[in-house]
């Protein structure tokens, strides 16, 4: 059975992510370990961690995915901001290691006025510093595919490869985001476009590096370079793109995590929609 999960809130106490996942019928969950919009680091209490491990044992929810704070910019030309970002990632990764989180997903950075080559160089330096400080044994560091909004680095397979390849000896991989891929110019909602993207990914990075898929429709048109998530089948990707991923012989083995708008009971609706697309015949790409 395909593993379909969603992003849940970790507010009040981090162990509540399991309750919130169970409530909507998620098989896997993603959450933040610190506020995505605040630099202040909150230490988790021993009681919280104890409850987290108790529920981890009790609930059949796996894998566990943590998303990095949106404030981090490992590409920044501002040395203070880049240093704060590096320290923020290190804090989050240390907690992930302690909690035995499976995957840590990050938006690597934005060029913001710099040449892209310089931004990539800054990200690589930042990652080198992070891996020197944190020895990842339990958690895999995943670089996310991005839409290319406001100078984002990671909008092409080639850019993702530049960020991942130098650290192949580390616990590192890739997270695909369907909305971001489509907005970046990959026509993943047609059989031809999907096959073409999968082949590119296989040849440049390797399919074995892909560990998680963020499952989001797009509010904006194809190749818009905008990051605007929509409910499954309600955006410009449409159902066909998700059908192709869910029934692919390689991608169907991965966890699909929803990051769609948090409105009413839409998590349950989106999970049900995705389930309805499984085992619907589509051509298999090699």
**What would the pLDDT profile of 111-155 be if each residue is shown by its tens digit?**
998 999 999 999 999 999 999 999 999 999 999 999 999 999 999
Is the model's pLDDT at 281 over the cut of 80? no
Is the model's pLDDT at 17 over the cut of 80? yes
Is residue 174 a contact partner of residue 160, using CB atoms and an 8 Å limit? yes
**What would the pLDDT profile of 212-230 be if each residue is shown by its tens digit?**
999 999 999 999 999 999 9
Amino acid 36: pLDDT: 85
Is the model's pLDDT at 257 over the cut of 90? yes
Number of neighbouring beta carbons within 10 Å of residue 91? 17
Ranges of each domain in the chain? 4-277
Amino acid 37: pLDDT: 83
Amino acid 238: pLDDT: 98
Is the model's pLDDT at 184 over the cut of 60? yes
Which stretches does DSSP call E strand in the chain? 4-7, 29-31, 64-67, 103-106, 109-110, 140-144, 152-153, 172-177, 210-215, 217-218, 229-230, 256-258
Q: Reduced to 3 states, what is the DSSP secondary structure of residue 157?
A: helix
Q: Reduced to 3 states, what is the DSSP secondary structure of residue 256?
A: strand
Is residue 97 a contact partner of residue 139, using CB atoms and an 8 Å limit? yes
The pairing of strands 109-110 and 152-153 is antiparallel
Mean pLDDT of all residues in 157-168 = 98
Q: How far apart are CA 180 and CA 230, in angstroms?
A: 12
Angle, helices 191-204 vs 157-164, to 10°: value is 20
Place of tokens 């800054």: 122
User: Which homologous superfamily does the CATH classification assign to the domain defined by 4-277?
Assistant: Divalent-metal-dependent TIM barrel enzymes (3.20.20.150)
Is the model's pLDDT at 173 over the cut of 80? yes
């Amino acid at each position: 059975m395909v593993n379909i999960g969603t992003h849940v809130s970790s507010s009040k106490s981090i162990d509540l992510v399991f309750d919130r996942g169970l409530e909507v019928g998620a098989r896997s969950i993603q959450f933040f370990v610190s506020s995505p919009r605040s630099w202040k680091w909150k230490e988790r209490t021993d009681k919280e961690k104890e409850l987290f491990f108790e529920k981890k044992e009790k609930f059949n929810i796996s894998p566990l995915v943590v998303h990095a704070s949106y404030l981090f910019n490992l590409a920044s030309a501002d040395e203070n901001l880049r240093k704060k970002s590096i320290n923020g990632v290190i804090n989050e990764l240390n907690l992930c290691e302690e909690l035995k989180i499976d995957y840590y997903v990050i938006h690597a950075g934005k060029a913001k006025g710099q040449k892209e080559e310089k931004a990539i160089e800054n990200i690589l330096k930042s990652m080198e510093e992070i891996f020197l400080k944190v020895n990842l044994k339990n958690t895999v560091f995943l670089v996310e595919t991005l839409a290319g909004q406001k100078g984002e680095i990671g909008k092409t397979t080639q850019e993702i490869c530049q960020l991942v390849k130098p650290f192949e000896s580390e616990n590192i991989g890739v997270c695909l985001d369907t909305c971001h891929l489509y907005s970046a110019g990959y026509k993943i909602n047609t059989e031809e476009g999907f096959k073409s993207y999968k082949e590119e990914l296989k040849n440049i990075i390797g399919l074995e590096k892909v560990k998680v898929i963020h499952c989001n429709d797009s509010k904006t048109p194809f190749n818009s370079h905008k990051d605007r998530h929509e409910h499954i089948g309600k955006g410009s990707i449409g159902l066909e793109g998700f059908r192709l991923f869910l029934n692919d012989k390689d991608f169907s083995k991965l966890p699909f995590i929803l990051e769609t708008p948090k409105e009413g009971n839409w998590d349950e609706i989106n999970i049900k929609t995705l389930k309805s697309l499984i085992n619907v015949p589509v051509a298999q790409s090699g």
